[in-house]
A and B are shown apart, each in its own frame.
Chain A
Amino acid sequence: MSQNTRTDYQIAQQQIFDSIIAGEFGIENREDLGPMVPIRLFQVLRMVAMGSNVEDMLGNGAPALVYHSGQGLGQAIGHIAVEKANNDIETYVGKIEQLCRQLSIGLVVPEKVDLSAGVLELRVDECVSCAGVHDVSAPICHFEAGMVGGIVKTFFGRNVRATETKCNAVGDKTCLIRVDLL
């Protein structure tokens, strides 16, 4: 395969991102079942296929893969929002909140934005990944942390470090993601 040829996964990714950018939530070939799926099915993909199964193969490398995947989605979402935000952080976050609600990722609420310190904290209530998951020993929403990191990175054009400091699955009632601008 030549280096310029896109893989099938990349082709599918492009179609999915294009659909999100266009705000298309209806899906062809799903006339009867519609565009929504049970949250538990998403969680199977996230926590089993991209979680424990990947962990079986990659061990401690699994969180990095999941974080990197989330960052890719965050950058895609960020590109949608940044075009409509006129370089205004409040408008940008507003667009992100709206998109995350539309996609049922979660209810994004800014907890702290301290640009002089280079720190942002975003809460994700009703997080799609860990809702209904309990008793884990450490935050497990690496995908969402990567996604928020990708979103912030896209706006500021700087590398970031995003870490989940609270997690519903640990018992915190919400997920809190701290982003440090590097």
Chain B
Amino acid sequence: MSNIHSIEFRRSHSGEIDSILRNLMSLQGVTAAAIIDSDGLVTHIHRDFEVNTDALGASVQIVFGAASKAARHVGHNLANMVICENTEGYILLAPVEAGFMLALVTEREALLGRVRFELKETIPVLKKLFVNFL
């Protein structure tokens, strides 16, 4: 079953994924970087603050799922990224592979364009790691 592969997969690639998340955390204003699986479980996370990972993981999948549906309703095909602009910062979400998502949380002062660029650059790297999971 794929779920057993996912556990083994996560263990074998944890170092590489942690390194990628650490790099993203080094960007100005980024306060959390996380990988979330299709059930909404946070499989990897680096963060500067306490967060309810169960609630965060479920919210990420729900928000991205709703955005993807909205994109299809207006004929925009696939959603590639969701950006939530909040009073205190931004949340950026992007699909990786096999239902896994990358989520970044930033402060308001973060350079959104830079973070968005790095996110887009990171996704293909993560995809290569996750593609074996399919």
With A59-B65, A59-B68, A64-B38 known as contacts, the answer to whether A180 contacts B7 (CB < 8 A) is: yes
Question: Is there an interface contact between B69 and A58, defined as CB atoms closer than 8 Å?
Answer: yes
Chain A binding site: helix, strand, loop or mixed by DSSP? helix
**A98 interface contact, C-beta 8 A:** no
Question: Is there an interface contact between A58 and B3, defined as CB atoms closer than 8 Å?
Answer: no
What is the total of A-B residue contacts with beta carbons within 8 Å? 72
Question: Is there an interface contact between B3 and A159, defined as CB atoms closer than 8 Å?
Answer: no
Question: Is there an interface contact between B54 and A61, defined as CB atoms closer than 8 Å?
Answer: no
Measured CA separation A56–B53 after assembly (Å): 25
Question: Is there an interface contact between B54 and A64, defined as CB atoms closer than 8 Å?
Answer: no
Question: Is there an interface contact between A59 and B69, defined as CB atoms closer than 8 Å?
Answer: yes
With A60-B38, A165-B3 known as contacts, the answer to whether A65 contacts B62 (CB < 8 A) is: yes
Question: Is there an interface contact between B53 and A178, defined as CB atoms closer than 8 Å?
Answer: no
**Chain A: minimal CB distance from B129 (Å):** 18
Interchain Cβ contacts under 8 Å between A and B, 29 examples = A58-B61, A58-B62, A58-B66, A59-B65, A59-B66, A60-B64, A61-B61, A61-B63, A61-B68, A62-B65, A63-B39, A64-B39, A64-B40, A64-B57, A64-B58, A64-B60, A64-B65, A65-B40, A65-B58, A67-B40, A67-B58, A68-B55, A68-B58, A145-B39, A161-B7, A163-B1, A163-B3, A165-B3, A180-B7
